[in-house]
């Protein structure tokens, strides 16, 4: 099998997902990063439902700033929605991406807005 960048990321993500599951008490915060946007969801894996989500394509995120700052804004929006849904602690799932750049910025923004992980 040709090991492309996407296949490599999927392999890493599957390896991480073996160990990480989201419970109702401590759901999973998952990240998906495309070339243009970044998406984040808080998921309860036992019921299979997305509790809250946020992305950089929403109107609340400013488009004139760079992608790392957009990711930080997405993290803050997600954390505010999670606090409204009575979620204070999550398990972070970086989605097979390196904890670096936009993924780290999103995590930092979520932590600043009151989410603990």
Average pLDDT value for the chain: 94
Residue boundaries of the structural domains of the chain: 5-112
Q: pLDDT tens-digit profile of 62-83?
A: 989 999 999 999 999 999 999 9
At 53 the pLDDT is: 97
Mean pLDDT of 18-47: 95
Strands 49-55 and 91-93: unpaired
Q: Is 117 within 8 Å of 90 (Cβ atoms)?
A: yes
Dist CA 51 CA 44 (whole Å): 7
Q: Which CATH architecture has domain 5-112?
A: 2-Layer Sandwich (3.30)
pTM, rounded to two decimals: 0.91
């Amino acid at each position: 099998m040709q090991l492309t960048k996407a296949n490599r990321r999927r392999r890493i993500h599957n390896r991480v997902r073996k160990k990480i599951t989201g419970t109702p008490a401590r759901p999973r915060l998952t990240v998906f990063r495309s070339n243009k946007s970044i998406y984040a969801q808080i998921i309860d894996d036992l019921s299979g439902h997305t509790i809250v989500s946020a992305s950089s394509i929403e109107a609340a995120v400013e488009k004139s700033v760079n992608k790392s700052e957009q990711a930080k804004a997405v993290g803050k929006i997600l954390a505010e929605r999670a606090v409204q849904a009575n979620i204070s602690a999550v398990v972070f799932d970086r989605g097979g991406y390196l904890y670096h750049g936009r993924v780290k910025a999103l995590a930092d923004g979520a932590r600043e807005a009151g989410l603990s992980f």
